Structure 1
Amino acid sequence: MNERILIVEDEPKIARLVADYLTGSGFESHHIEHGDAVLPWLDKADPMPALVLLDLMLPGTDGLTLCREIRQRWPRLPVIMLTARVEEVDRLLGLELGADDYICKPFSPREVVARVRAVLRRAQAAAGEHPAATRDALPLELDAAGWRALADGRDLGLTAVEFQLLKVMMQAPGQIFSRDQLMDHMYRDHRIVSERTVDSHVKKLRRKIAEVWPEREIIRSVYSVGYKYQPEE
């Protein structure tokens, strides 16, 4: 049976377009337009969907509330948020809500399919691995309360900006972030900085990681686009 994707989107044209591309890529899909119908449908779903594409702005129960409820009741069900509100990204990927990824509107349906595949791969890998094995493969941990990053238990000594930069990229492994996107996360006061400033922070972050792992490049450049966190070899 093909994996089923639940599309929660109140714009029928967008939902149909995404559903068509998912079908063409070997998935099944089910569409719900109203936020109030999502949790009752999930309660009775058989089988459960493999992933939920969840719009932020919905009639009835909003996407943020639904994401929180899904995390509490079905913690292993992956959620990708669809949003036109970039300022909500921190909350979408933060500890409070824990969305697995987000896609900003307008988007390409091909991008949606690619993100769905990537999140499902991560979810399937996590389900099949022992937690200790994952930690040994890349023992890089973030201490959000202390604003610290620990590599093999060693504090990397990151600045607040470097910590935020690493945190954003680690929350979406494999996703390419443009310099503009990273700037939005690095500076909460929306100051104007140049792209060279981002490059400088990335260079310093890489240097600190290389002090512990000199042969491992986990912050990778994507020529003319930006950067991504890629822990896999």
Structure 2
Amino acid sequence: MPEKVFLNDKLVDINKACISVTDSGFLYGAGLFETMRSYDGVVFALKDHLDRLFFSAGCLSINNPYNRKYLTDAIYKVLQANKLTDARLRLTLTNGPMSESEEHRKPTLLITATKLRPYPAEYYKKGIMVVLCPFRQNPNEPTCGHKTTSYFSRMIALNSAHQKRASEALWFTTDNRLAEGCISNVFLVKDSVLYTPSIETPILAGVLRKTVCQIAIKNSIKLVEKDLCIDD
């Protein structure tokens, strides 16, 4: 059975799913996305993912006519249509076709679900190697701190890290503060204290970052959110 995706208002076979060649996300990266994980058929922290999506859409003027119930139902329809319980899901929302006038333009909504491919067990036993990203994150860039579809610089840095046999690259800001990884948030453990860059750096407000912070507080682990540099 072909994989099913949710495109705009309905489920379709993936090999029949089409978007406009003038879609603003395709042409200009004018869109947002959320990557989610389901456990036993339940999407982890779905509310947090949708909260971030709605917040970023408002900040970046991404047209979002959907409510949370509609998106939640659509996500679970894709999960169930593909008969998946442990899955990787992605929701992509763009401003839609540029060929349509702005007042009549409808956004493009795409939701996919694929079988989860977990990280190798050795990652959890031995950790991973990281490198320093040769590029810098500009705090004044309007998309900074948002999960946009304009991800090319991150992929360049990540591919460069892979060529050096590393799994991730750490980004610093233009004023040399630690920010985040290409596809991850960053935590440091020093003298039994858990450190992480402040959201105001700015960095992406990661859903798992929020979860780790909550677990630390619940377990009386000292957590410090602050500006960090290479010396830390």
Question: What TM-score does the superposition give when structure 1 sets the normalisation length?
Answer: 0.28
* Relative contact order higher in (CA < 8 Å, ≥ 6 apart): 2
More helix per residue: 1
Question: What TM-score does the superposition give when structure 2 sets the normalisation length?
Answer: 0.28
More strand per residue: 2
